[in-house]
Structures are given as structure tokens and as C-alpha cells.
Amino acid sequence: MALAGFWRKVHLHPWQRTLYTVVASQIAVLIGFGIATPFLPFFIQELGVTNFKDVAFWTGFINSVPPLAQAAAAPVWGMLADRYGRKPMLIRSLLGGGVMFLVIAFFARTVPQLAIMRTIQMMLAGSQTAATILIAAAVPPEQRGFGLGLVQMAAFIGQSVGPMIGGGIGAAFGYRTAFLVSGILILITCVLVVLLVQEEFHAPSRKERKANSFKASFGVALSRPVLLSMITLLLFHTFSNSITRPMLPLFVQTITPTISAASAATGLIVGANAVANAGSAVILGKVADRLGRRNVLIGCVLTASLLHFPQMFVTHPTQLLVLRFL
């Protein structure tokens, strides 16, 4: 590919080329998932489910069962990463995610088929975890913080841009087109990773695998109250978001005149929320250095909780966008 050839000619250390390629891949992947995933409730209706309660049920099902399958598959991928390396796992996640988007675009005809395809996709996906582990291993220790920061930045960019693009594509060309664009984008990224990413892999010893096992990590968490409390807080935060996020498009649909308008509005709202998350991460990091991390954390939790209540009473997408941004 011409782009790959140009990238090779740029004077970079191998670890730098690997880092920037992986970061670019994560931007593309999260844009790809952002183009398609937030609009599944509208695609469910396109597949023939018109009763609002049935749409809500299938939306919840498709947003809960596939992630559970992904969690069940994660230990298997971790074991294979220890045996064969991190790059193959990143390629696996990109290839699986991209191909399954194309399968959904061309072959999903019923909602149960969509649910099965999404479950397979989530079992194969997980590129952000694979990318993070690969960068942690490939980048020199003195550059590791910089590298992982770029991966996090890629996540913010992808989560911000993807839904905004997807809302427009879905409204103008249909949701199958959104899935098609997502699949092609991710597969192009997969090719670049195959060509440009380098990994010097050395399989860990049995002792190292045992030290990094889930049992050992869980034991460390239990022995440190602060770490355990943070894990618990993240669990409840994620659980809360998992309740509201999948149903957000349906809620937007109730305050907009058409599905096309709801699609465009959902893209803007989800994208604006991601932009706010990215900006607040930088600002609050500096504030925490002055006021203390605990005080900032308490303030964030209370503010986020209180801002959920007025969202029940909005009557226009703009009102919801402002509240979600805050």
C-alpha cells in the first residue's frame, strides 16, 4: 500500500512507528465502532421490530449479552497473547471487528441474527486492550507514559468523532451503509498494523505468568482498601452508564419528529459527551493537583449524579445535549 510505503520512509525508530501506527489504528477503530454502534436501536426498527417495548428489550439484550461474551473470551485471548504475542491479538481484534461489521451490513435480516453477529463480533474484538498491552511492551520504559497517553487520546478522538459521522451517515444513507463504512475502515487499519507494527516478543516464564494471573491481581486488590474502593466505584459507574447509554437513542427518538432526526441528534449528543470527557480529563487532572484527588472525585460523582435527574424532563434534543455535555 502507498500509505504503508510512505510510513516506512519516514525516519522513525521501530518503536515510534509501532506506537503511531497503533494509535492511528485505535482512532480508526473507535471511529468505526462509533459510526455504527450507538444507532443499533434504529437499525433494530429497520429490521422490522416496531413495538417500542420490543425495541427497548432487544436494545438492552444486544448491549448486554455480547459484552458478557467478550468478558468470557478475554482470558482465552490473554493466554494466547502470552503464548504468541500481542501483535497477533491486535490483528485478531481488528480483523474480527471489521469482518463482522461487513457481515452485519450484508446479511443481518432479523434481530436475532443481529444479536448473534454482535455476540461473535464482541468475542473477537477488544482492540483497545490489545493495543494498550502492545504499547506497554513495545515502547521504552522512559516513553511508556507518553505512549499510553497517546492511546488514551486516540480513544477520546475516536469516541468523539465516530458518533457524529455515524449519525449523519445513518440519517442520509441508512444504517447498513454505516456498518459497511465501519467495517472497511477497520479492515484498512488492520492491513496497516500487519505491515508496520513490529513486536519483539518473548514468551513469559511460568513464574511470570503466575505472578500476573487474575488470582494474584485479585489478591493484591483485596489487600489494598484504596484500590478496592476505586474498583468498586468504577464498577458502579460503569453499571450506571450501561443502563442509560444503550437507551439514549430511544429516548432521543421520543423527543424528535423522525428517526432520521433522532439519528443525527444522537450522534451529536454522544459525540459532545465524549468531547466533554476528553476535555474534563485534562482540566480536572490539574484541579486535582491543587485541591486533592479525593475532593475532586467526590465533586465529580455528586455532580454527575445530580445532572442525571433533569434529563428526565427535557423536551428537546438541544437541552439533552447541554446536560450530557455537562
In a domain, 292, yes or no: yes
Other C-beta atoms within 10 Å of 289: how many? 10
Other C-beta atoms within 10 Å of 190: how many? 24
Whether the CB-CB separation of 66 and 118 falls below 8 Å is answered with yes
The dihedral over CA atoms of 243, 284, 271, 182, expressed in degrees to the nearest 10, equals: -90
What CATH number does residue 252 fall under?
1.20.1250.20
- State the residue range of the domain holding 67: 9-199+225-325
In a domain, 4, yes or no: no
Measured distance CA(245)–CA(247) in Å, rounded: 5
pTM over 0.85: no
In a domain, 145, yes or no: yes
In a domain, 211, yes or no: no
What is the pLDDT tens value at each position of the chain, 326 positions in all? Answer: 555 555 555 567 778 888 888 888 888 888 888 888 778 888 999 998 988 889 989 988 888 888 888 888 888 887 888 788 888 888 999 999 999 999 999 999 999 999 999 999 988 887 777 888 888 877 888 777 777 777 777 887 887 888 888 888 888 888 899 999 999 999 999 999 888 888 776 666 565 555 555 565 566 666 677 777 777 777 777 777 777 777 888 888 888 888 888 888 888 888 888 777 777 766 766 677 677 777 877 887 788 888 888 888 888 888 888 888 87
Whether the CA torsion 228, 244, 175, 62 is positive or negative: it is positive
What is the total count of domains within the chain?
A: 1
In a domain, 206, yes or no: no
Unique residue bearing C-alpha cell 450484508: 106
